[in-house]
Amino acid sequence: MMIFRREHKDLKKDGEEWMKTEAISHMITALIAIAFVAALSFFLMGNTTYVTSVSENTRLLFTILKSIIFLTSTSSMMFFQSILMSSFLEEDFHYKLPLKLMGGLVMLFLSLTSMLVAFVATISYLMLAGILPKIVIFSSVPVFLLVPLKLKLLGETIRSWI
């Protein structure tokens, strides 16, 4: 075991730096999602023009979406924060750190997907029927760009963990 530790000392250091970089970049994305929830709250519920015309079902939909986005974003940030606060022991790389990374990525995916649903619901609510299909297509572009990039990372993490 001592030989293994000595031979892989640089690998441990590189893994620690990579995990910290990943955690910080994903925390920024989760923070943007939280800012989106705040903006959505002020747009729909704080604007007196739209508040009077909003049905109860629409209010319920936006409340549910905001709750999902907020909870999954903050959960994601907590997972990534726990990575940053980790002691980065060799044992942590085998079980704890991959589990935290997987949890953070899953929560981040759920948050971003909920954000896109809220975006499309907002556009639909504003009744831009003529350009609605184009907006829906363009709003799904980030998911199609993010999923292949981060799903590969999630898959590799799961395979290495198992």
pLDDT per residue, tens digit, the chain (162 aa), is: 788 788 888 888 898 999 999 999 999 988 888 887 777 676 665 555 555 566 777 778 888 888 898 899 999 999 999 999 998 888 888 889 989 999 999 999 888 888 888 877 777 766 655 566 666 677 677 777 777 777 777 788 778 777
Q: Which residue has the tokens 């075991």?
A: 1
**8 Å CB contact between 100 and 82:** yes
According to DSSP, residue 136 is labeled H
The pTM (predicted TM-score) of the whole model is: 0.74
pLDDT, tens only, 91-137? 888 889 989 999 999 999 888 888 888 877 777 766 655 566 666 67
Tokens of 10: 């640089």
CA 151 remoteness from chain centre: 12
Beta-carbon neighbour count of residue 43 at 10 Å? 12
Tokens of 22: 């990943």
Residue-wise DSSP of 82-94: HHHT----HHHHH
- Residue 92, φ and ψ in degrees, nearest 5: -65, -35
